[in-house]
Structure 1
Amino acid sequence: MGNSEAERDDEPVTPAGRLFLQPEMNQIIHCIIGCKNPIDVGAIKSEITNSVMIQHPRFSSLLVRNSHGREHWRKTQVDVDRHVIVFEDPVSGDCAGDEEAVNDYVADLAVSSPLSSDKPLWEMHLLRAHNCMVLRVHHALGDGISLMSMFLECCRRADEPDQRPSIGSVGTSSSDRMNRRRDLWKVVVGMFMMVVFIVEFVLTALWVKDRRTSVSGGAGVELWPRKLVTAKFQLDDMKQVKKVIADATINDVLFGVISSGLSRYLDMRSPNALQDGVKITGLAMVNLRKQPGLQEFSAMMRGNSGIRWGNKFGMLLLPVYYHHSGADPLQYVKTAKKMIDLKKQSLEAHFSYNIGYLVMSTFGAKVASWLNYRIVCNTTFTISNVLGPKEEITIVGNPVTYLRANNTSLPHAITMHMLSYGGRADMQILVAKDIIPDPQILAKCFEDALLQMKEAATEQLGK
């Protein structure tokens, strides 16, 4: 009878959550929190015990399967001591510094390090020798926007300790305002582009794939050993570039940096091997929620808001084109902006989300997982960008020096996740090290690309 009562109270896992539980797409999010001072283990455990995270049903439920194999969440008592894993000694004896040691540790977690299913699907690793915490959360529990908002509930502003931090706003560009006032012609163009991009999306899922380059992955690469490095940007540098290109966004600049940086790296790895204009397709994860404030997410987590918790994002196929050295650095951003504007107008991200939901509901998780796996195998890299807190923050009174995020490995040889924090933006670059043995050079290619764009923008503004 007890089991029957428990089963009646079980909550079905959402279609998106079921997708991330499939072996081919099994994903764990890693949030890396660097601290200024030594970590107080007792204070961290106390904060977690009293936090909204423990109250949230996703973080206090076991993943169970019924007699038909369907996944459900079942409420359980959380033993915080089982979720907080403490490492007193350095996690790597071969590294020169804390950053490299932590990156190597997370890179090892990125391959074949599942979360135990006999407890809720999250852990906090405390690397005390490196003043660092690594929060591991299964993607089935929520997406980056949901999880960032939940984490910030446990933090306070460094300059105002009584206040919670705020998440940066993407703002609304004038092009977005124009889109709301589009005339009939713009609607027609949008519908045409939607058809074009939907056909492209379907063909990529079935058989069209990128030409092989020295950075290509493929089926099975998700199991290869990984290396993790960090590219570091200043948001002011990105804003400086944004100023000289009408209606550009930070995402436009970021994708221009990716395009330029990959061209630079391919020039080094395989000079004269590629023709100018070779397409390299990226897979971007796009948040489909309105950008809510932290207070709205707090209400959402307590169940008294219409905002939905979980995974709500679409995919965009974003092609970049290889160009030999010497190209105008700002042209990369202009090309990226033009392409991304068309993608927004086409509603491709909404289509991918809804078609994924339809496939999951109609054909089940295995078919949806197969389609997603095919899309990843037929493209070259993954990119995502999550907005973090605008202000510097503390956790249990300990100042946070950096925030970074990444996922476990995919069939791509390169996955990139950028997270902004306090005027900075760190991009974690996770690579298959047998394909890309020198990821630190790749990271420098991205950093140099932005600096060159900034110089060109400063020169243009000074004219």
Structure 2
Amino acid sequence: MESEDQVLRSRKQLAMKPIRTKTENGEDGREDHLKKRHDHEVVEEEPLSPSARLFHEPNFNVYIIAIMGSKTKIQLDIVKANLEHTLLKHPRFSSLQVVDDRSGDMKWVRTKVDLEKHIRVPEVNPNMESGDQFVEDYVFNLSKTTIDKSQPMWDLHLLNVKTSDSEAVGIFRIHHSLGDGTSLISLLLACTRKISDPEALPTVPVKKKKKQEKSNSWWLWRCLVGLWWVWQLLWHTVVDVFMFMVTASFLKDTETPLKGPEGIESNPRRIIHRTVSLDDFKLVKNAMNTTINDVALGVTQAGLSRYLNRKYGEGKKAEEKSTETKNNLPKNVRLRSTLLINIRTSVGIQALADMMEKDTEVKWGNWIGYVLLPFTIGLRDDPLDYVREAKATIDRKKHSFEAIYTFFIAEFVLKLFGIKRASGLSHRIISHTTMCFSNLVGPLEEIGFYGHPMTYLAPSSYGQPHALMINFQSYINKMTIVLSVDESIIPDPYQLCDDVIDSLKVIKDAVIAKGLVKEDQNKN
């Protein structure tokens, strides 16, 4: 726990300028729609973006959950004091979403935030049998509820419960209309600081550009490769957009034990997580010249294949002797993940921190497009094939404007046919696929949430029409695997999680056995 001097110094460092919004002069009837904040600033309403409005439809009412483990007990007064000077400076977290009586549109209206209505600190039994089970059940029950629109649509739950990997747990719940997942997690990290340097923002790795040697022949080769690259880009985009439209119309994934029926978006979700070594991912990445994302997707494909082989083989003998050619899996399983891709240039943690500290404008909201990511389901005699197939899939998807085109298709449908049709389109796309998958890059060093050292960050969501969502979140030298499941469809999420983790071990062991890399060569 921080000393009183440290707390005061931290509060002083986090003092920020108010955000001002200019108003239009000479517009009739605007007085009723202008709100004064507690600091006497006059601010102007903003309409909700079409994408934000979409998340208020009954079949698309999605909430983002960010579970944070703390090394120390969480001090309520410190959290409250710092929220005033950080998160509440962001307009979306201090605004109501109000329906205009005249137009029927929804607008952001700034309001004074009462933190007592947003921070929940339940009483807990210090002698409880299992802190892990308590936290898990708490999140499960939380997924049965929603946030009332009479207040800004976020809350924070502080559980001073000792678990197997933390002394306390904080749970942020944020309605998806406030922003897309990547920006919200980045904003959350903008509220943290390095433990080694309390004034410094977290460091998140960025992809380094490879240096290329230039010569006379290089330019000609570059032009030829560029022409072929553009042709492939256009062709891949046409194919992907066509598949998007076909999926929206009729093409559904194979009915498997992982796919839920339509209408499950209102069901509660069991959210579990396991933390493994990030070095294992790096070992495979370096040995196979891939990315962490390739490895995460390959491990997931292997884990899902293992799980489904067991499910289809229930009641059969010698399940452990299954091979690539002899197993319980049906042929040609179509299993796809819906990826929501941030199509804006990444604003980054620094820009989001600046938004809360200065009068800067950062493009906010839900700037997301769809990507339909096919998973290869099948047993492989060579475990490294899972990673090779994943890399081929991701490389192919990177070489397409699918996300941008699907974003504009959704916007076009919304503006031309209205919110109901747009909601129906989005719902069909997601319900015709099997799951959600994401891999988020986290800080490279230990960080503190308002001075509380974090042990892990586990993001997920509920309210989506999928029975399964898998998130990978890195943090320092750890990788947290998070599963959000509908227990009526997937009653054994722990087994599924074990299958993913066991698959990582099998792939890592195969890398070492083939002599591709030594076990101690875990470079970044």
Q: Report the TM-score when normalising by structure 2.
A: 0.81
Give the Å deviation of 1:241: 1.2
User: CA 1:442–1:174 in 2, change beyond 3 Å: closer, same or farther?
Assistant: farther
Taking the aligned partners of 2:124 and 2:243, their CA distance within structure 1 comes to 50
**Counterpart code for 1:99:** D
Give the secondary structure class of the aligned counterpart of 1:160.
coil
Consecutive unaligned residues of structure 2, counting only runs of 5 or more, are: 1-26, 35-43, 163-167, 213-217, 314-326, 519-524
Q: Does 1:101 align with 2:134?
A: yes
Query: CA deviation digits over 1:258-298, x for unaligned, max 9?
Result: 11110000011112553244221111222323344422222
Aligned partner of 1:378 in structure 2 is: 432
User: Which of 65, 69, 77 is the matching residue for 1:42?
Assistant: 77
| Contact 1:156-1:162 within 8 A present in 2 as well | yes
Equivalence map 1:138-149=2 (5 Å): 138-149=175-186
User: CA 1:288–1:424 in 2, change beyond 3 Å: closer, same or farther?
Assistant: farther
Aligned partner of 1:118 in structure 2 is: 150
| Contact 2:90-2:355 within 8 A present in 1 as well | no
Aligned partner of 2:15 in structure 1 is: none
Specify which structure has the higher proportion of helix. 1
User: CA 1:180–1:63 in 2, change beyond 3 Å: closer, same or farther?
Assistant: farther
Taking the aligned partners of 1:17 and 1:90, their CA distance within structure 2 comes to 39
Aligned partner of 1:54 in structure 2 is: 88
Looking at CA atoms only, which structure, 1 or 2, has the larger radius of gyration? 2
Aligned partner of 1:260 in structure 2 is: 302
Consecutive unaligned residues of structure 1, counting only runs of 5 or more, are: none
Taking the aligned partners of 1:390 and 1:293, their CA distance within structure 2 comes to 15
Give the secondary structure class of the aligned counterpart of 1:223.
coil
Taking the aligned partners of 1:455 and 1:40, their CA distance within structure 2 comes to 43
Equivalence map 1:309-458=2 (5 Å): 309-324=364-379, 326-458=380-512
User: CA 1:89–1:282 in 2, change beyond 3 Å: closer, same or farther?
Assistant: same
| Contact 1:10-1:74 within 8 A present in 2 as well | yes
Query: CA deviation digits over 1:70-102, x for unaligned, max 9?
Result: 110001111111111111215996xx5333322
Name the % identity: 36
Give the Å deviation of 1:425: 1.7
User: CA 1:41–1:2 in 2, change beyond 3 Å: closer, same or farther?
Assistant: farther
Taking the aligned partners of 1:173 and 1:411, their CA distance within structure 2 comes to 40
| Contact 2:296-2:472 within 8 A present in 1 as well | no
User: CA 1:183–1:216 in 2, change beyond 3 Å: closer, same or farther?
Assistant: same
Give the Å deviation of 1:306: 5.8
Give the secondary structure class of the aligned counterpart of 2:206.
coil
Give the secondary structure class of the aligned counterpart of 2:351.
helix
Give the Å deviation of 1:396: 2.9
**Counterpart code for 2:303:** G
| Contact 2:376-2:389 within 8 A present in 1 as well | no
Give the Å deviation of 1:387: 2.0
| Contact 2:201-2:350 within 8 A present in 1 as well | no
Deviates more, 1:286-295 or 1:220-229: 286-295
Taking the aligned partners of 2:285 and 2:140, their CA distance within structure 1 comes to 33
Give the Å deviation of 1:157: 0.9
Give the Å deviation of 1:378: 0.7
**Counterpart code for 2:68:** I
Q: Does 1:270 align with 2:318?
A: no
Equivalence map 1:6-85=2 (5 Å): 6-7=32-33, 9-51=44-86, 53-67=87-101, 68-85=103-120
Taking the aligned partners of 1:39 and 1:306, their CA distance within structure 2 comes to 32
Aligned partner of 1:242 in structure 2 is: 285
User: CA 1:126–1:462 in 2, change beyond 3 Å: closer, same or farther?
Assistant: closer
Deviates more, 1:28-37 or 1:228-237: 228-237
Query: CA deviation digits over 1:105-137, x for unaligned, max 9?
Result: 2122223x1111111111111112341111111
Give the secondary structure class of the aligned counterpart of 1:200.
helix
Deviates more, 1:199-208 or 1:139-148: 139-148
Give the secondary structure class of the aligned counterpart of 2:399.
helix
RMSD: 2.6
Q: Report the TM-score when normalising by structure 1.
A: 0.91
Aligned partner of 2:31 in structure 1 is: 5
Deviates more, 1:162-171 or 1:209-218: 162-171
Give the secondary structure class of the aligned counterpart of 1:222.
coil
Deviates more, 1:231-240 or 1:139-148: 231-240
